[in-house]
Amino acid sequence: MRTIALVVFAALIATSASAEEKLIDLKKAPGLDKVEGNCGACHSLDYIPMNSPYPTAAMWDAEVTKMIKAYGAPIADADAKTIKEYLAKNYGNPGS
């Protein structure tokens, strides 16, 4: 009985915590589906607009490559290319 009470209590805490979480609204553009599906599978997408000043295209390229090679993100080459293009175009430093 005590175990059931703990599970219910934990579920209530998790529900209230997730209810307070604000969902990120990334720019609607080609490639967003690949970003949400691949990047959002492992971590919050909040990191994208939080980078300030926004990274250059080369920095986004390096970041996506790092996620694949260093962290083992299972992202297909075609998806990685689309993700890099989306990030550079929509969250890249325009001066780069």
Instruction: Please report the domains of the chain, with CATH numbers, ordered by start residue.
Output: 25-91 (1.10.760.10)
Whole-number pLDDT of residue 6: 52
Whole-number pLDDT of residue 2: 63
Report the distance separating Cα 17 and Cα 60, nearest Å: 31
Per-residue pLDDT tens digits for 58-88: 999 999 999 999 999 999 999 999 999 999 9
Per-residue pLDDT tens digits for 16-63: 454 455 678 999 999 999 999 999 999 999 989 987 678 999 999 999
The b-or-e profile of 26-54 (16+ CB within 10 A means b, else e) is beeeebbebbeebbeeeeebeebeeeeeb
Whole-number pLDDT of residue 72: 96
This prediction's pTM: 0.74
Whole-number pLDDT of residue 83: 98
Whole-number pLDDT of residue 94: 75
